[in-house]
Structure 1
Amino acid sequence: MFHLNALTRRRARPIYQASVVGKPPQEDKFMGEAVQEFFTGVLRVIHPEVRDLWAYFEAGFHNLLAVAVENRFAREARKTALGLMGTGQLSLTKVIVLVDEDVNPRDRAGVFGAIARHFDPAEDFLLIPGVPLDTLDFTSFTMNLGSKMVIDAQSKPGETAVAAPPSAAPPDPRATEETVLAHRFAWGAMLVVQVKGEGRRVVERLVRRPEYAAVKLLVAVSADVPLEDDELLLWGIFTRFDCARDVIPAGIETRGAWASCRGPLGIDATWKTGYPAAIENHPDVIARVDSWWGKE
Structure 2
Amino acid sequence: EAVDLGRLPVLKSWPLDGGPFLTLPLVITKDPETGELNLGMYRMQVLDQRSTAMHWQLHKVGRRHLEKAKKLGKRLEVAVALGGDPVLTYAATAPLPPLPGVSEFHLAGFLRGAPIELARGVSVDLPVPAEAEFVLEGYIDPEEPPVEEGPFGDHTGFYTPVDLYPRFHVTALTHRKGAIYPATLVGVPPMEDAYLIEASERLFLPALRLVLPEVVDYHLPPEGVAHNWVNVALRKEYPGQAYKVAYGMLGLGQMMFAKVLVAVDADVPVKPGFSALLEALRHALPGRDTLLLRGPVDVLDHSARAFAFGGKLVIDGTRKLPEEGGEVAFAPRAHPELPPDPEVVAQRQWPGLWGAVLEKRRPHQAWEVAERLLSAPQSAGIRLLLLADQDTALTPEELLWYVLNNIDPERDARVMPGVEGPVLVLDGTRKLPEEGFHRAWPERIRMDPKVKALVEARWEEYGL
Q: TM-score with structure 2 length normalisation? A: 0.54
Structure 1 position 240 matched with structure 2 position 406 = yes
SS of the equivalent of 2:262 reads strand
State the SS of the aligned residue for 2:218. Answer: strand
One-letter identity of the residue aligned with 2:373 = L
Letter in 1 for 2:244: K
Name 1:189's counterpart in structure 2: 352
SS at match of 2:287: helix
The runs of 5 or more residues in structure 1 that have no matched partner are 252-261
After superposition, the C-alpha distances for 1:186-212 in whole angstroms (9 at most, x for unaligned) are 3x1210011122523212443455652
- Residue correspondence of structure 1 range 131-150 to structure 2 within 5 A: 131-150=295-314
1:6 pairs with one of 42, 49, 54: 49
Q: Aligned partner of 1:87: which letter?
A: L
- Cα contact 1:207–1:249 (8 A) shared by 2: no
Q: Tell me the residue number matched to 1:107.
A: 272
1:158-237 alignment to 2 at 5 Å?
166-169=332-335, 172-174=338-340, 177-186=341-350, 188-198=351-361, 199-209=366-376, 211-212=378-379, 214-227=381-394, 229-237=395-403
Could you say what the CA RMSD is over the residues aligned between the two structures, in angstroms?
3.2
Deviates more, 1:278-287 or 1:117-126: 278-287
Please give the alpha-carbon distance, in whole angstroms, between the structure 2 residues aligned to 1:47 and 1:291.
52
2:443 corresponds to which of 277, 283, 293: 277
The one-letter amino acid of 1:136's match is: L
Cα pair distance change 1:230/1:219, threshold 3 Å: closer
Alpha-carbon distance in 1 for matches of 2:337, 2:318: 27
Residue 88 of structure 1: CA displacement?
0.9
Rounded Cα–Cα distance in structure 2 between residues aligned with 1:167 and 1:264: 13
1:119 aligns with 2:279: no
Alignment-mate amino acid for residue 426 of structure 2: I
Whole-angstrom CA distance in 2 between matches of 1:233 and 1:268: 12
1:197-253 per-residue CA deviation (whole Å, 9 max, x = no partner) reads: 2523212443455652541011111111110x33212211211111011112216xx
**TM-score (normalizing by structure 1):** 0.81
Q: Does structure 2 retain, via aligned residues, the 8 Å contact 1:54–1:105?
A: yes
Identify which range, 271-280 or 64-73, moves more after superposition: 271-280
Q: Structure 2: which 5+ runs fail to align?
A: 1-17, 19-44, 51-172, 433-439
Q: Which has the larger radius of gyration?
A: 2
Question: Is residue 103–residue 110 contact of structure 1 (8 Å, CA) maintained in 2?
Answer: no
Instruction: Give the fraction of aligned pairs with identical amino acids, expressed as a percent.
Output: 30
Q: Residue 33 of structure 1: CA displacement?
A: 1.1
- In 2, Cα distance between equivalents of 1:115 and 1:197: 30
Matched, 1:60 2:225: yes
**Mean CA deviation greater in 283-292 or 164-173:** 283-292
Q: In the alignment, which residue of structure 2 is the partner of 1:46?
A: 211
Seen in structure 2, the aligned counterparts of structure 1 residues 217 and 137 have a Cα distance that, compared at 3 Å, is same
Given that 1:213 and 1:263 are in contact with CA atoms closer than 8 Å, whether structure 2 keeps it comes out as no
Cα distance, 1:28–1:195 mapped onto 2, change above 3 Å: same
Higher relative contact order, chain-length normalized (CA < 8 Å, sep 6+): 1
